[in-house]
Chains A and B, each alone.
Chain A
Amino acid sequence: MNTVYQIVVCAGIVPDPLQTLEPVASPSGPALKNEMMLPAVLDPWASHSLYEAANLAKHLPGSKVWLVSLGPKAKLQQVMMTVAQKVPFELVALDGPGGGFTEAAEVAAMLAEAIQAIPGLDKSKLLVFGGWESASRGAGATMQMVGERLGIMDQFQGVDELKIAADGSLEILERIEGGKHQISKCAGLPALLGWATGNLPEPKNNPQIGMVNMRTVMPALQKAKPVKFAGDGLSFVNVALPKQLRETRIVKDKSPDDVAKEIIEWIKK
C-alpha cells in the first residue's frame, strides 16, 4: 500500500492531574485558582491519539502528522518542550484560553478553521485524530463539531484500535457499554477518530526528534493566531468542589481473619 496520509491531531493542554484544582470566579466566568501557574501537560487521551498518529505515519512513508493545539501561548510553549521530544509533528498553534469552562462549539470552530488553513490539505488523504474526551471540559463534544465543520461523515469515538487494510479501508474498534468494543469497517478517508487509550505506550523522550520538531514549533508559536471566546448564552450558576471529604476510619490492629470477616459482612449488607 503506498497511500500517503495527512493526519491532523487536535490536542489541548490541561493541568497536570497530580495538581489540586480549585475553582474561582473571574471576570470572564469560572476559572481555576492560579491557572497560569499550574504545570500543564498535553491532554492525556489526545496524547494517545498523537502517539497512534505518529506510529501510523511511521509505517506509511510520505505521511505526515500535524498537531493543532489551542491554549495560552506561554503554556503551549512549556508543554511543547516535552511533547516535541516524543514523536515527529508539525505544530499549528492557536493562542487562547485552554481551560475547561470554554465552549466546545467555539473551540471547534477555531480548530476547524486552523485545519482548513493547512497548506495542501487534501480531504481524500485526511485523518483527523483527537481524544474522545478532554481532561478539562470532559464533554466529548469538540471533535464531532470539528468533524461536522470539515464535512466528515465517518466519525468514531472511544477508539482503541485502527487497522488499515490493503484496499485502504479502515477497521476501527470503539469502546461501548459493558467493557466491549464495537467493530466497524469504513470504506476510506476522510475519517475522524476520537481516541481512548489505544495500544501504544508513551514514547520515550528523544532529543533528536525534539531538535527537528523545534525548528517548526518555535515559529508556529510565534505566529500563533490569538483567539477569544464570547461564551454567549452560557452562564454558570455555581462551580464548586465536591462536599466534604470522608472521615476515614483507619483499622490498624485487626488480624487478616477479622478484617476478612468485616469485609464479608459489609459486602453482604
Chain B
Amino acid sequence: METILLLAHTETDGSLAQSAREALHVAATLHKSVAVSQLVVGLIGENVQSAADAIAACPATKYFGVIGKDFSQSRYATDTAAAEAICRTSGATVVVAPATSRWNRVLAGVAQRLGGHVDTHINGVSANDGKIAVNRWYYRQRMEAVLNRKQRPWFMLIDPGSQPACQSRSGTASIKNVVVELSDACKRTTVIGVREPAADAQTIRPDAQLLFVTGAGWTKKQADGQPHVPEAEKLIRGFLQLSRASLGSSKSLVDQSGEGQAILSFLSHLNQIGQTGATPRHPKGLSTCCHGEEPHTVGWRFVAERRAINLDPNCGWARGKADVLYVADAFKVMTKVNELLAAKT
C-alpha cells in the first residue's frame, strides 16, 4: 500500500500557501488513482491548526503536525528534523510537497536521511495500474522526461504554478502532535530577516499576467550613434508602473552592472531569465531589445504567449521562439505603448 503524504509548512500568518494547495491537489489525485493507498497530511510551523482546518474536507485520513516557535523559521536543521519525524511517524512511501524555497532547501537532505529518493521541479504526476510516474525537465527546460521509481520513500517537489490548487472545504482536523527534540546543534542558524526592495521598487511580480523582458539592446548605440540609457530607464520604469508587469532581463543586461557600465538601476541578477536565471510562469511575455538566444529563451519555457520587439528580423525570436516578432524600434514602440496606457488610466 502507498501512504501518500502531503508535506507542507505554514506561512508566517499560519495559513497554507497556494503552492501547498497545488501539491495537495497532486497528492489527492494520486491517492484517487492508486487503488490501494491512503492520503495523510503533515504540517510544520509555529501553529498548524488553522492550516489543517482549512483543508479538513480533503480525503486525508490523518493529520500530523510538528509545531512550535523553533519550526516557524525556514532553517535546514530544524526543517529536516521536523520533516524526517513526520515521514517516519506517518510511514509515508510517497511524499508530495510544494517546491517552495523552504522545501527546496531541505527535502533532498531528508530523502537521503531516510534512504529514499527525490525528484524536484515536477510538473506532472500520473498513475497507471498503480504505477506512479512523474514529469520533469532536464538540461534547464530543454527536454522533458517521464520517469518512475521503485524505491520508497519517494519525495516529489511540485513546481508552484504547474497544477491547479485543491479547493477542498474547511472543517475541523484532528492533528497528531509529533514531538521533535532539538539539540543545540540544530539552532546554530537563526533567520534574522528578509531583504527586499521597497514595495514600489519591487520589479519581480510572480503573479503578474505579463512578463516584460529587457535585453542589452536598451543600452546599445541606437540609430543616431549614441546610447540612450536614461531614456530607456524612463520607458521601462514607466511601462512597469502602468502595466504592473513583472520585469525579466537577459543576462547580458544584468551583467553590465558588474562591468562598470551605465545600467538600469533597478535591475539585478534576480531579474535574469534563462539558463542561469529564473524560469517564471506567466500567461504572457513581451521581450524587448533582447536577441532571443537559446540560453535566454530556455527561461521562457512556461510563458504561454510570447511576443518580441527587435530591430533584427533574423533574431532568435523569429525562429519559432515567439508567436509574434515585431521588427521595430522598441524605443519608439514603448513610448507609444506608455502613452496609450497612461491615457487609459
Chain A residues at the B interface, C-beta cutoff of 8 Å: 14-15, 17-18, 20-23, 30, 32, 44-45, 100-101, 103-105, 108, 135-142, 144-145, 147-149, 153-158, 160, 171, 173-188, 196-197, 199-201, 232-242, 244-252, 254, 256-257, 259-264, 266-267
Contact = CB atoms under 8 A, between A and B. Distances in A.
A248 B100 contact: no
Contacts of B20: none
B320 A180 contact: no
29 contacts: A17-B295, A18-B295, A45-B276, A135-B275, A144-B106, A145-B109, A154-B189, A157-B101, A173-B195, A177-B100, A178-B196, A180-B194, A181-B194, A182-B191, A184-B189, A185-B189, A197-B269, A197-B272, A201-B258, A234-B150, A237-B146, A239-B146, A240-B144, A245-B319, A245-B320, A252-B327, A260-B340, A261-B340, A263-B326
B294 A18 contact: yes
Contacts of A108: 112
A177 B270 CA distance: 10
B225 interface: no
A137 B255 CA distance: 25
A188 B305 CA distance: 47
B144 A248 contact: no
B189 A186 contact: yes
Contacts of A17: 140, 275, 294-295, 298
A137 B136 CA distance: 10
Contact of B293 (A18, A141, A156): A18
B252 to A, nearest CB: 13
B336 A260 contact: yes
Contacts of B77: 153-154
Interface stretch (B34-42, B53-61, B163-171, B306-314): B306-314
B62 to A, nearest CB: 27
A267 B208 CA distance: 11
B192 interface: yes
Contact of A103 (B101, B117, B270, B320): B117
B318 interface: yes
Given A183-B192, A248-B323, 8 more contacts: A20-B294, A44-B276, A158-B105, A160-B269, A173-B195, A239-B144, A254-B328, A266-B307
Nearest to B314: A250
Interface string B149-163: 111000000000000
Given A173-B195, A236-B146, A250-B318, A263 B307 contact: yes
Given A155-B105, A242-B301, A233 B144 contact: no
Nearest to B74: A182
Interface stretch (B43-51, B63-71, B198-206): B198-206
Nearest to B115: A105
A233 B193 CA distance: 41
A205 B325 CA distance: 38
B228 interface: no
A247 B275 CA distance: 23
Contacts of B105: 144, 155-158, 174
A137 B145 CA distance: 11
B221 to A, nearest CB: 19
A140 B147 contact: no
B143 A264 contact: no
B117 A105 contact: yes
Interface in B286-345: 286, 293-295, 298, 301, 305-307, 309, 313, 317-329, 332-337, 339-341
